[in-house]
């Protein structure tokens, strides 16, 4: 699918700039050109696609649907899948949390949504697809959905309501079912301009991180020998996966920049499962989010929440190392 891009990058770097394909600089620049264009195209397409889906399923509609319907466990799957299609900014996590429990949605399902929404987003999917191919991107999305379901289910079973802030408990006590949402019925053609604009905004917002990430990746790609990391990080070390997640969690918001770097780490010998676990830690859990959640949860609950998710991330890292 991206063969023509490879041709273009090769032509630009090796014919126009007259760099040797064997030189470190040539190899690095070729990688940089190819990856930048590939990510830009995919990012734009996927954000538009997600924008269209989201414009028909805004988060208010999802909340009200989950609030009205009890589906004997299937609601975990719904909440998790909805988490994929809605855009998410960690600063929305508190209003979202309150908005969900206010509608009588159980804590476990609220957690499911809160886990998947940041973990699987349009930026991550696009960069995964560009860097690792569609198969790995699909595996990442599927893992994110399963992780949200499992995490939310386990957290829901733990009876954690007692660790919520008192005012949140009041809200839960007064929870009531949400009404069906009054929707504006706009044809797609009229929704399209604002969707495209928003997609462009997203691309613009992360472009700097991506370019920096690809830049670092390109330098490593050009100058480090293949298999460079194999010696240090390999499947044999049991502690590599947990360590990767632990390092990933405090790294924040540069998911867009991290993936292109990790792509090169994998090419140079880091096991893919370890790398995916690391990226899930970076993207899915962040310290600023923990600080925000402090407003609605006691620190024990935040610790249990982060601990459970990290545990499942580590588990999926091992699983991928085992099967891939």
Partner 1 sequence: MKHIKVLGPGCAKCKTTYNNVLEAIKQTGIQADVTKIEDIMEMMKYDVLTTPVLMIDEVVKVKGRVADVHEIKQLLIA
Applying CB under 8 A, the residues found at the interface with partner 1 are: 59-60, 63, 87, 89-92, 94-96, 98-99, 102, 167, 171, 198, 201, 292, 295-296
| Least Å from the CB of residue 29 to partner 1 | 32
CB 112 within 8 A of CB 74: no
Question: If 0-12 CB within 10 Å is exposed, 13-18 middle and 19+ buried, where does residue 204 land?
Answer: exposed
Closest contact distance (angstroms) between CB of 300 and partner 1 is 20
Torsion, Cα 273 277 283 286, to 10 degrees, reads -170
Structure tokens at 16: 């126009």
Q: Which is nearer to partner 1, 60 or 161 (CB)?
A: 60
Longest dimension (CA), the chain: 70
- Enter the tokens of residue 128: 């995964």
What would you report as the CA-atom Rg of the chain, rounded to the nearest whole angstrom?
A: 21
CA–CA separation, 169 and 171 (whole Å): 5
Smallest distance from partner 1 to CB 51, Å: 11
Map residue 164 onto helix, strand or coil.
strand
Comparing CB distances to partner 1, the nearer of 114 and 214 is 114
The SS3 assignment for 297 reads: strand
105 three-state secondary structure: coil
Q: How far is the CB of 99 from partner 1 (least distance, A)?
A: 4
User: Please, are residues 300 and 106 in contact by the beta-carbon 8 Å criterion?
Assistant: no
Minimum CB separation of residue 92 from partner 1 in Å reads 5
Cβ 288 to partner 1 shortest distance, Å:
8
Angle at 161 between CA 157 and CA 163, to 5 degrees: 115
Q: Are 256 and 250 in contact (CB under 8 A)?
A: no
């Amino acid at each position: 699918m991206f063969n023509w891009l490879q041709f273009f990058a090769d032509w630009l770097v090796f014919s126009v700039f007259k760099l040797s394909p064997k030189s470190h600089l040539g190899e690095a620049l070729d990688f940089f050109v190819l990856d930048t264009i590939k990510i830009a195209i995919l990012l734009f397409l996927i954000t538009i696609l997600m924008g269209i889906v989201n414009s028909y399923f805004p988060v208010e509609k999802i909340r009200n649907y989950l609030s009205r319907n009890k589906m004997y466990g299937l609601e975990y799957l719904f909440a998790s899948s909805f988490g994929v299609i809605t855009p998410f900014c960690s600063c929305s996590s508190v209003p979202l949390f309150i908005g969900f429990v206010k509608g009588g949605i159980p804590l476990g399902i609220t957690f499911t949504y809160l886990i998947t929404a940041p973990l699987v987003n349009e930026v991550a999917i696009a960069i995964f697809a560009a860097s690792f191919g569609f198969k790995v991107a699909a595996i990442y999305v599927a893992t994110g959905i399963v992780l949200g379901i499992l995490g939310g289910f386990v957290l829901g079973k733990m009876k954690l309501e007692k660790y919520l802030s008192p005012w949140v408990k009041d809200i839960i006590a007064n929870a009531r079912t949400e009404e069906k949402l009054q929707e504006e019925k706009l044809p797609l053609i009229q929704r399209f301009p604002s969707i495209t604009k928003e997609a462009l905004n997203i691309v613009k917002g992360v472009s700097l991180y991506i370019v920096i990430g690809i830049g670092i990746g390109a330098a490593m790609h050009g100058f480090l020998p293949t298999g460079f990391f194999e010696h240090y990080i390999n499947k044999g070390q049991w502690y590599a996966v947990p360590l990767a997640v632990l390092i990933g969690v405090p790294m924040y918001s540069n998911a867009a920049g991290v993936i292109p770097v990790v792509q090169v780490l994998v090419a140079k010998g880091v096991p893919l499962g370890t790398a995916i676990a690391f990226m899930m830690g970076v993207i899915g859990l962040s310290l600023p989010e923990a600080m925000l959640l402090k407003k609605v949860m006691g620190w024990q609950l935040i610790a249990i929440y982060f601990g459970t998710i990290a545990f499942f991330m580590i588990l999926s890292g091992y699983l991928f190392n085992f099967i891939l």
